[in-house]
């Protein structure tokens, strides 16, 4: 059989990571097996260890990829602001929406995998990747809120701005988690709407224009 080129091997590896990133956000890390992840990428289980050292290695890389996907979406908003909406307001509209609530596989890893990361031991690959992604998300949200260039590295300052960003992200993620957990459609929608209102009102009270 012909040998697989390095470029083809890298494409296969990236495909596994991307599909696993979707699966773990949909089902949770404990419900995704290595054979399922490989099959989703159109590959056989036997080739797994050519790409990853362990399942934990795959999960950590998939989680990092999920956070990168969210950052890239925020970068696009910053580069191409929607007409009549600030990037932050558009981001909140999309984040706290029924569409995001109902499609976790393509949504925010901070919300989808918080419980999974919390159940792992400190220092585990999954929790380490989650923490790194959370810090990056906070930095990006802070820059998106301030209208600054999105950071290449850690940028979230100390002080009131940091506290505001931490509170904003906590509200967003908490509201999304509760909305997904509720089997009452009305209550679920109310949770998203209330969080959106609280976030925009808080900014208005601090002297920033409301949405």
CATH number at residue 104: 1.10.357.10
User: Which two tokens mark 170?
Assistant: 């906590």
Query: pLDDT digits over 101-110, tens only?
Result: 999 999 999 9
The model's pTM: 0.86
Q: Is the pLDDT of residue 22 over 60?
A: yes
Task: Say what the pLDDT of residue 85 is.
Answer: 82
Task: Say what the pLDDT of residue 18 is.
Answer: 97
36 belongs to a structural domain = yes
Residue 163 vs residue 148, higher pLDDT: 163
210 belongs to a structural domain = no
pLDDT-derived band at 1 (thresholds 50, 70, 90) equals very low
Dist CA 107 CA 184 (whole Å): 21
89 belongs to a structural domain = yes
Dist CA 155 CA 138 (whole Å): 9
211 belongs to a structural domain = no
1 belongs to a structural domain = no
Owning domain of residue 100: 6-205
Task: Say what the pLDDT of residue 211 is.
Answer: 37
Domain count, the chain: 1
28 belongs to a structural domain = yes
Q: Is the pLDDT of residue 183 over 60?
A: yes
Residue with tokens 């979406």, as numbered in its chain? 73
Cα dihedral 59→34→115→177 (10° resolution): 100
Query: pLDDT digits over 119-150, tens only?
Result: 999 999 999 999 999 999 999 999 887 665 55
Dist CA 41 CA 18 (whole Å): 8
CA distances (Å), origin 32, targets 10, 70, 119 = 22, 21, 16
37 belongs to a structural domain = yes
112 belongs to a structural domain = yes
Dist CA 16 CA 38 (whole Å): 6
Dist CA 132 CA 103 (whole Å): 23
Nearest by Cα to 20 from 75, 73, 57, 72? 57
User: Which two tokens mark 205?
Assistant: 């009270």
């Amino acid at each position: 059989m012909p040998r697989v080129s390095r470029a083809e091997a890298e494409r296969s590896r990236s495909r596994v990571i991307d599909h696993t990133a979707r699966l773990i956000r949909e089902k949770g890390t404990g419900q995704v097996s290595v054979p399922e992840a490989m099959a989703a990428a159109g590959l056989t289980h036997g080739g797994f260890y050519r790409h990853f050292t362990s399942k934990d290695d795959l999960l950590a890389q998939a989680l990092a990829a999920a956070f990168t996907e969210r950052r890239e979406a925020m970068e696009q908003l910053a580069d191409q602001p929607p007409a009549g909406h600030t990037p932050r307001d558009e981001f909140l509209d999309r984040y706290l929406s029924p569409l995001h609530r109902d499609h976790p596989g393509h949504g925010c890893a901070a919300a989808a995998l918080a419980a999974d990361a919390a159940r792992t031991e400190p220092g585990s690959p999954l929790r380490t990747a989650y923490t790194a992604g959370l810090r990056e998300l906070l930095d990006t949200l802070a820059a998106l809120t301030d209208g600054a260039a999105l950071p290449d590295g850690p940028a979230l300052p100390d002080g009131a701005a940091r506290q505001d960003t931490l509170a904003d992200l906590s509200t967003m993620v908490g509201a999304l988690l509760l909305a997904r957990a509720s089997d009452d459609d009305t209550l679920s929608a109310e949770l998203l709407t209330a969080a959106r209102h609280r976030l925009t009102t808080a900014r208005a009270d601090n002297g920033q224009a409301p949405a």
